[in-house]
Amino acid sequence: VPDMFPGQRYWRDAWLPAGLSVIVTPMNFIWGIPTIHLAGAYLAGCPWILKGHPFAALTNTSMVRAFLAAGADPRFVQKVEGFGKGIAPLATDHRAAVVAVTGSSETARAISAGRGLLRTRFEGGGCNWAWVDDGYADDELHKIAARLTYAKLGLSSHKCTGLHGISASRATLDRLVPLAAAEMDRWTVADPRRADAADRTLGPLMVHKAQTALDLVAEARKAGLKVVREGGRAPGEYGQNAEAVKPALIDGVTPQTTLKHDWDGKGVRQYQLATTELFMPILVTMALPDFEAFVRFSLFDNPHDLATSIWTRDDRKLTRARRTLAGMVKENDGTDSALEWEEFGASTIGESGNMGVGEVRATLSIYARRQKGRHFVF
């Protein structure tokens, strides 16, 4: 910055510690995302309190022990354990300068309502869609179907970047949907902890009840959608004692498709299927006339902006996507990939959150204050 007056100096420091930070982490990413946050806050100079998910209590303890073993100041690292209401005051305490939440948008809304203008950073899930262009050969569509099926079923459909739906022209969907259904047939529903569990093993539901998945498919059929793959409860004793369902595939979804049924035993919920995040192995497909229609759907209908998958050889479409779609744009890949040093997270505008983690500057900025200074020689 040039001097405006003789004898003065201006500077910016965007990396002052923000202060006490509360870090709330989810049950589906119990190592990577929490460790990135904890390291970022500590390196920024912020004492932190970890509120990990109760299902990950052993991991939460191991991470804190790892910091202490590495020489971290024990006054700077703390953790609490417990479920929602028991620890709710922690996230809304005015003494916390920063609350960083990775989890559901409902959790983030509740915390934000209690914190007012105090800094709340949130990274959540999304309704992550893939567009598949016309012109692929049959063997290429087989590969695309395999990759996108894994994006749906990998980690037992509990990735926040898991695939929600596939969009393409009607002609391409007519070729691709049967391939995706056949790929789902290669997956086995079983306890993934078993020693003999195969690579394509689909574990139990952790967020929803099995009955919710069954009701969704039944209501989709009533709404006139094409149920390509029924799904249903997992067979045998495992299905009787676990919240486990087989993969389902529903074709014919539109942005306006609305379903209404009981939601996890908490009452009847009405929602739009194309834009409601599902942590369950149900893949939906939607025919659109062209790529421009998909871009408009992504911008104006889907409130989430976490990950979008684009399969095309057309550089004009890739350029269009890069200039219009935000969040994580995956070109010729599934929505679920997250490689090292990537800023994992949404665009910071929308339902999927206002922060990203992984890349160094993006992570440290969550836990930093900005200083602007001017010095005059007196």
The CATH-assigned architecture of domain 8-124+353-376 is 3-Layer(aba) Sandwich (3.40)
Decide: helix, strand or coil at residue 160.
coil
pTM over 0.85: yes
The residues near 216 (Cβ < 8 Å, ≥ 6 apart) are: 248, 259, 261, 273, 278, 280, 282
What region, left, alpha or beta, does residue 231 occupy, with left being phi > 0 and alpha being psi -120 to 50 degrees?
A: left
Whether the CB-CB separation of 158 and 279 falls below 8 Å is answered with yes
**pLDDT tens over the chain, length 378 residues:** 566 777 788 899 999 999 999 999 988 888 989 999 999 999 999 999 999 999 899 999 999 999 999 999 999 999 999 887 788 899 999 999 999 999 888 888 889 999 999 999 999 888 999 999 999 999 999 999 999 999 999 999 999 999 999 999 999 999 999 999 999 999 999 999 999 999 999 999 999 999 999 999 999 999 999 999 999 999 999 999 999 999 999 999 999 999 999 999 999 999 999 999 999 999 999 999 999 999 999 999 999 989 999 999 999 999 999 999 999 999 999 999 877 668 888 999 888 999 999 999 999 999 999 999 988 888
Counting beta carbons within 10 angstroms of the beta carbon of residue 196, is it exposed (0 to 12), middle (13 to 18) or buried (19 or more)?
exposed
From the CB of residue 264, how many other CB atoms can be counted at a distance below 10 Å? 14
307 φ, ψ (degrees, to nearest 5): -140, 135
- Cα separation values, 178 from 32, 138, 161, 166, 251, Å: 35, 12, 23, 13, 10
Which pLDDT score, from 0 to 100, does residue 8 have?
84
What residues contact residue 87 under an 8 Å CB cut-off, 6+ apart? 51, 80
Report the relative pairing of strands 258-262 and 268-272 from DSSP bridges: antiparallel
Is the domain 128-345 a CATH 3.40.309.10 member? yes
Strands 248-251 and 119-123: unpaired
Q: Tell me the H-state helices in 224-359.
A: 236-241, 291-296, 315-324
Residue carrying the six token digits 């303890």: 61
According to the model, what pLDDT value does residue 1 have? 56
Q: CA dihedral in degrees (315, 318, 322, 328; nearest 10)? A: -140
Q: Is residue 244 within 8 Å of 203, Cβ to Cβ?
A: yes
Contact between 318 and 332 under an 8 Å Cβ cutoff? The reply is no
Domain ranges of the chain: 8-124+353-376, 128-345
- Listing DSSP states for 307-329 in one string gives EEEEE-S-HHHHHHHHHH--SEE
Structure tokens at 146: 């395999």
Which two three-digit tokens encode residue 125?
A: 């899930």
Question: 302 is written with which tokens?
Answer: 């889907």
Predicted pLDDT at 100: 97
Per-residue tokens: 143 = 């590969």
Residue labelled with tokens 């395999």: 146
Name the nearest CA neighbour of 283 among 113, 190, 160, 157: 157
- Dihedral of CA atoms 180, 207, 272, 129 in degrees, nearest 10, equals -40
Tokens of 46: 């912020």
Token representation of residue 328 = 């994580």
pLDDT at 378: 82
In this structure, how many other beta carbons lie within 10 angstroms of the beta carbon of residue 133? 18
Q: What does the pLDDT read at residue 340?
A: 61
Structure tokens, 367: 């836990």
- In this chain, the answer to whether the domains covering 8-124+353-376 and 128-345 adopt an identical fold is no
CA dihedral for 190, 194, 199, 205, sign (positive or negative): positive
Between the two ends of the chain, the Cα-to-Cα distance in Å is 20
The Cα 291–Cα 310 span in angstroms is 10
pLDDT of residue 173: 99
